[in-house]
Amino acid sequence: MIRKHLLVDVIAGLIIAGLVVILAGCGEGLPKNLKNRARAIPDAIKTGKSQIDKHKDQYETLAASSEFKEVEPFALKENWAQKFQLAYEEITRAKTLYDKDLSPLVGKNKPELASQVIQQTVRIKKVLKNAENLSRYPILRFAKIRNTIENAADLQSGAQKNTDDIIRIANALKTGSMAKAIADFPDLTDKINTRFAPLSKLERQSRKHLSVVTEQYKRHAAGSTADYAAFTDSVESLDSGLEQTKILETKFIKEMGQLYSSYTKILKDMKEEYFVNIKRESWNENSDYYAPRFVNFYRKVSPEAYETLTADNLDTIAAISAGLGTGVYSSRFSSQIGDLWKQLSINPTDQWPESGHNAASFWVESSREAYFHKYILEENGDTKETDWEKVDANFYDANLEYLGMAVLAKPYGVFEQDRLTQAAPPGMAYVGNSKYGEWKKDDTGNQFWSWYGKYALFSSLFFFPPSYFHYNSWNSWNNDYRYKKPYFGQTKNGSRKYGTYGTYVRQSPKFQSTNFAKSGGFKSQATSVRGAGAGLRGGGPKSKGK
């Protein structure tokens, strides 16, 4: 059958067109609320400048007070006063951006400029927020350092506790889940260390910050000059460091746990369903007034019928022509689609209006397609089969070749981010891993993979007696396909062994009984008619009656 994608393009176009209409305010310039937000920017700039003036006045009053004297060295060293100048510069930048970039866009008032107006408005608001933060910094910084001077003992005690907690968490992970994972999966030592590295870094940093706190607290307690700014910064770093440590602890434990689970997702079956809406318009051919009636008939159809019914050159599919008598009973029915009409199981006069109507036209008003997968899920040796799961049309297409294959696999000793997403024979990702089986030799000396009990399902998935993976095929997949591309294997004559069009699936009794096989899926490598309904009409004949 012919595969068509026009419907998807049409739908995407309609979505984009809808968004444009929304942004455009029905095509009459920029949306009113968007223009209002943009035009409010000049007032926001004035307000921002006023706030900077206010904060600057407050700071200057504070700087002249006696309580500021102890903090003044830090204010001079860090140049707090310069923050106001930087804030004014941001205000100037916001005004320049408005005058140069935003105001002209608003003045043009074109709907297609909506996204640019949004972008520039957000940009200017960020600049104004930065100006506000700069102007607030000196007083906030003063308050933090004063708090350190007044509560040095409590802060030092809290810093010590935070450091102890960070070190305790790191050590617990080192001797617990990390040590176990390295012992169980020594080949992953580098990857495990990489995941633990952020925690090690936080641990080292916490010791350094505590050293600063301890040294400055000693000076404070002795009545000598202390660097309260460094004291403050180190205390804050330890507070945030403990929060980060707890987050990383949870993440690390979860990642180590991933190594002890395994799963495989096998594509067991596929199906496509097609639906059409047949619309009927009826009228009274003998009436002076056109008073049509409409009825919809929703039907599920075969792929072949769907392709015919949604053909671009098909207008009406059936008609009722007025006869010499009165009413529909003297009329004549004709089909433009031959015997296909019978498959629709539509009584042409079903729900017929009692108004003397004696003529009608039938056409395909709309159509839709639905796509489904069924999977075999294996997890830690236990298996179950899913019900039909609806999937996206593009995803369905992308997996058409993978019937009977593992479309997802994560073996023991593999992190989630390293799971295999390239289609491969079921169980291939587990071969070579001693958690699942071992290599043995047959009578001819060739190596084959022998599964442990609960994983034997992989050897009998297609046939019984079971079949096994041989070393050469696994080695080829492991070296040339793993994490790179799908692997279908190869028979002696060079054809595919696995997948939808491979000999194993085609010849397997288990897959011959699937919906995909029964619907003729093996007969063609392009069974879908997706998108065939793209050119459907939005109505039937446009004028009836005398």
How much is the pTM? Answer: 0.76
Q: Is the pLDDT of residue 302 over 80?
A: yes
Question: In the chain, what percentage of residues exceed pLDDT 70?
Answer: 90
Query: Cβ neighbours of residue 449 under 8 Å, at least 6 residues apart?
Result: 431, 432, 437, 438, 439, 440, 468, 469, 470, 471, 474
Tokens of 37: 């937000």
Least reliable range by pLDDT among 4-13, 75-84, 138-147, 157-166? 4-13
Q: For residue 532, what pLDDT is reported? A: 54
For 389-410, what is each residue's pLDDT tens digit? 999 999 999 999 999 999 999 9
> What is the DSSP code string of 316-354?
EEEEEE--SSSSGGG-EEEESSTTHHHHHT--TTTT--S
Of 124, 128, 123, 141, nearest in space to 82 by CA = 141
Confidence band of 326 (pLDDT split at 50, 70, 90): low
Q: Which residues pair with 381 in a beta bridge?
A: none
Q: For residue 27, what pLDDT is reported? A: 53
d(CA 434, CA 195): 24
Phi, then psi, of 417 in degrees rounded to 5: -70, -15
Confidence band of 543 (pLDDT split at 50, 70, 90): very low
Q: How far is CA 152 from the centre of its chain?
A: 48
Q: For residue 21, what pLDDT is reported? A: 42
Of 526 and 353, the one with more pLDDT: 353
Q: For residue 530, what pLDDT is reported? A: 57
Q: For residue 524, what pLDDT is reported? A: 58
For 25-78, what is each residue's pLDDT tens digit? 445 799 999 999 999 999 999 999 999 999 999 999 999 999 999 999 999 999
Integer CA distances (angstroms), 444 to 206, 448, 469, in order: 63, 11, 15
d(CA 473, CA 449): 11
Confidence band of 423 (pLDDT split at 50, 70, 90): very high
Q: Is the pLDDT of residue 541 over 90?
A: no
Of 327 and 403, the one with more pLDDT: 403
Of 486, 528, 484, 535, nearest in space to 391 by CA = 528
For 362-371, what is each residue's pLDDT tens digit? 999 999 999 9
Q: For residue 529, what pLDDT is reported? A: 59
Please state the rounded mean pLDDT for residues 301-325.
Answer: 89
Q: Mean pLDDT score of the chain, rounded to an integer? A: 90
Q: For residue 7, what pLDDT is reported? A: 37
DSSP 450: E
Q: Is the pLDDT of residue 12 over 60?
A: no
Q: Is the pLDDT of residue 539 over 60?
A: no
Of 47, 23, 46, nearest in space to 35 by CA = 23
Q: For residue 72, what pLDDT is reported? A: 96
Confidence band of 544 (pLDDT split at 50, 70, 90): very low
Phi, then psi, of 421 in degrees rounded to 5: -115, 0
Question: In the chain, what percentage of residues exceed pLDDT 90?
Answer: 78
Q: Is the pLDDT of residue 1 over 90?
A: no
Q: Is the pLDDT of residue 475 over 50?
A: yes
Q: Select, from the ranges 78-92, 325-339, 486-500, the one with the highest average predicted confidence (pLDDT).
A: 78-92
Q: For residue 535, what pLDDT is reported? A: 45
Of 513, 509, 514, 518, nearest in space to 302 by CA = 518
